[in-house]
Chains A and B, each alone.
Chain A
């Protein structure tokens, strides 16, 4: 996983609430068995409309998505995170994320930043007024700066450390393998098995 410490880039405002993962990456794209190449499918249906904000050339190269509330609802598909990353996004800012999407993003180093709705709106308005304005997402300081905004966000110390180190969970967990084995010895015999 690519480490995340601080990122500065331009942003694109997506003024829609309840953006579900079916919109982020339609199911047709889920048949692939690779982890790469999903950027072309990002918001595929909406991108068919020339007026969709991602088609606006003034936002080309943006790496921060300024989303509406309840971003990433619905399906657990991690492909949604892979598509956002493959397209070039490093962070998504919203007033509320769906739990599974947020977990998937944190697992891949796409930073989900939760800020109050009025702060997200202020950022969206600033970027709409001037698409070249740059925003800094500083994980070390847990701050978003730029476009006339300076706002702190919350993220627990452990997750922050893991993201800044670029560590994946499997490796961390396997350091405690003995404890897993001990736990397995305590499981009741009546629990079912699949075989």
Chain B
């Protein structure tokens, strides 16, 4: 029987296999940031162990960093201490670090791909659940906890149970105005937040093939919101075109050898998946979340659902609680929900094409009175590219704030937060209670919907402007 993409990458990384034990997998790239690494480095220090492969490890400062006045010392002493700990650990253990204000700094899942470090067929881990982003390249990429960060630092391997496989085939073509973000929100709404549990998802089909690499990263990024271990897309010419010529990508005969290998990775025609889901792309419209988990999403053109719509008692209770937290009434058209803040950025939607999509909507328009709009590029390189295209001027002319790179309001570990009761339209990945600040209410949207929402002050699709 043939093998799936995930199985091929898995099999190529097994260092040791023994009956009844998890496989010991080799890790090709370990990405590190300031929040989930200090306890891991401390454990190495206590055990007197070095980092086995500093040359396969890369660190960046992203979760904590302020996005204004970045040349001043970090005002929050606890954040400052954590960033300082990362700098000290990287210096002591010989790990390459992109610190604040470095042209290479940015969100860890934006930095890896832009350098060309995330390549097909690799195993990639990071102490961050959105590591699934790198699966867009046909890599097996997944988030890990701090004890596993320590394990990879010490051994460059990870003991893992072989996951199940799931195919999500998106047939047809996405209609105009429907983006990768709308697609993944629709997928999570369909399969649920636990729908992918224990599985690696492979996204396939014409609509997936038609996505740019940045669109593919948006889709794979939110695989974790469906509970999946990882999300992957088979590498193709779109992938190779994106990689060619990037900083850390081979050239000459080595490139040809790599591409020849990458072309063997696609799932075999007779490969079997443990589970298959088919989505019709043509049926999709812009999606937004109404509740407090990413599965609680609906078409922007629909209404806030009623708890009674759900047969499952747990889902009904969850909807009830979500409506109370979100301050929403069942039956309200989603397009009538007014927001206070719009956040454009994050590892889901903080890349150049995302900023272009938002700028295209805002060009020549004005942000609605009383609405705060933050535009936070995913990396310093994205920031520089956007500024070279004049996107910063489009945002500022419209009344939006143009910031420096970082995770920012996606999780509110830096000063960019929602106040209690404040409501946002956010291009990030999680609408959990308090995610963007205690008491804050989050609606997940695409960059285009975020920008249109900024103009009207209520959830709006660009087509309705």
A and B, one complex? yes
Which A residues are closer than 8 A to B by beta carbons? 15-18, 20, 22-23, 26-28, 30-35, 45, 68-70, 73-79, 81, 96, 98-100, 103-104, 107-108, 117, 156-158, 168-170, 172-174, 176-177, 179-180, 183-184, 187-195
- Report whether B151 and A194 are in contact in the complex, using a CB–CB cutoff of 8 Å: no
Nearest-neighbour CB distance to chain A for B88, whole angstroms, equals 10
B16: contacting residue among A31, A75, A176, CB under 8 A: A176
Q: How far is the CA of A96 from the CA of B227 in the complex (A)?
A: 11
Nearest-neighbour CB distance to chain B for A181, whole angstroms, equals 10
Interface core residue of B42, B55, B127, B129 (most chain A CB under 10 Å): B129
B29 neighbours in A (Cβ, 8 Å): 192, 194
- Report whether B58 and A76 are in contact in the complex, using a CB–CB cutoff of 8 Å: no
- Report whether A169 and B82 are in contact in the complex, using a CB–CB cutoff of 8 Å: no
Q: How far is the CA of A158 from the CA of B317 in the complex (A)?
A: 37
- Report whether A99 and B250 are in contact in the complex, using a CB–CB cutoff of 8 Å: no
Q: How far is the CA of A98 from the CA of B129 in the complex (A)?
A: 11
Given contacts A28-B413, A31-B78, contact A194 B432 (CB under 8 A): no
Interface core residue of B96, B161, B227 (most chain A CB under 10 Å): B227
- Report whether B145 and A32 are in contact in the complex, using a CB–CB cutoff of 8 Å: no
Question: Across chains A and B, which 3 residue pairs bring their CB atoms closest together, nearest first?
Answer: A78-B145, A104-B145, A33-B38
Nearest-neighbour CB distance to chain A for B120, whole angstroms, equals 11
Nearest-neighbour CB distance to chain A for B294, whole angstroms, equals 9
- Report whether B127 and A76 are in contact in the complex, using a CB–CB cutoff of 8 Å: yes
The answer to whether the Cβ of B229 comes within 8 Å of any Cβ in the partner chain is: yes
Q: How far is the CA of A100 from the CA of B317 in the complex (A)?
A: 25
- Report whether B254 and A18 are in contact in the complex, using a CB–CB cutoff of 8 Å: no
- Report whether B64 and A173 are in contact in the complex, using a CB–CB cutoff of 8 Å: no
B42 neighbours in A (Cβ, 8 Å): 33, 35
Nearest-neighbour CB distance to chain B for A106, whole angstroms, equals 10
Nearest-neighbour CB distance to chain B for A146, whole angstroms, equals 24
Given contacts A18-B193, A180-B155, contact A31 B432 (CB under 8 A): no
- Report whether A73 and B194 are in contact in the complex, using a CB–CB cutoff of 8 Å: yes
Among B20-28, B266-274, B364-372, B450-458, which stretch is in contact with chain A? B20-28
- Report whether A20 and B117 are in contact in the complex, using a CB–CB cutoff of 8 Å: no
Among B167-175, B201-209, B255-263, which stretch is in contact with chain A? B255-263
18 further A-B pairs in the complex, CB-CB below 8 A; given A174-B154, A193-B248:
A17-B314, A18-B193, A22-B434, A32-B78, A33-B82, A45-B434, A45-B438, A77-B145, A96-B197, A98-B197, A99-B198, A99-B227, A100-B144, A103-B144, A107-B147, A169-B151, A170-B154, A194-B117
The answer to whether the Cβ of B234 comes within 8 Å of any Cβ in the partner chain is: no
Question: Could you list some 27 contacts between A and B, CB below 8 A?
Answer: A16-B318, A20-B432, A22-B430, A30-B36, A31-B413, A70-B194, A73-B293, A76-B143, A78-B127, A81-B145, A98-B194, A98-B227, A99-B229, A100-B224, A103-B144, A107-B147, A158-B22, A173-B157, A176-B16, A176-B24, A177-B155, A179-B15, A180-B157, A192-B29, A192-B250, A194-B57, A194-B248
- Report whether B293 and A18 are in contact in the complex, using a CB–CB cutoff of 8 Å: yes
- Report whether B432 and A22 are in contact in the complex, using a CB–CB cutoff of 8 Å: yes
A33: contacting residue among B85, B127, B154, B255, CB under 8 A: B85
Q: How far is the CA of A177 from the CA of B49 in the complex (A)?
A: 13
Chain B residues 35-82 with CB under 8 Å of chain A are 35-36, 38-39, 42, 47, 49, 52, 54-58, 63-64, 76, 78-79, 81-82
A107 neighbours in B (Cβ, 8 Å): 145, 147-148
B146: contacting residue among A31, A78, A158, A183, CB under 8 A: A78
B7 neighbours in A (Cβ, 8 Å): none
- Report whether A195 and B193 are in contact in the complex, using a CB–CB cutoff of 8 Å: no
The answer to whether the Cβ of B384 comes within 8 Å of any Cβ in the partner chain is: no
Interface core residue of B38, B58, B144, B194 (most chain A CB under 10 Å): B194
- Report whether A192 and B116 are in contact in the complex, using a CB–CB cutoff of 8 Å: yes
Which chain B residue shows the least CB distance to A26? B434
A190: contacting residue among B129, B150, B163, B255, CB under 8 A: B255
B81 neighbours in A (Cβ, 8 Å): 31, 33
Given contacts A169-B159, A195-B55, contact A76 B317 (CB under 8 A): no
- Report whether A174 and B197 are in contact in the complex, using a CB–CB cutoff of 8 Å: no
B419 neighbours in A (Cβ, 8 Å): none
- Report whether B249 and A192 are in contact in the complex, using a CB–CB cutoff of 8 Å: yes
Q: How far is the CA of A195 from the CA of B117 in the complex (A)?
A: 11
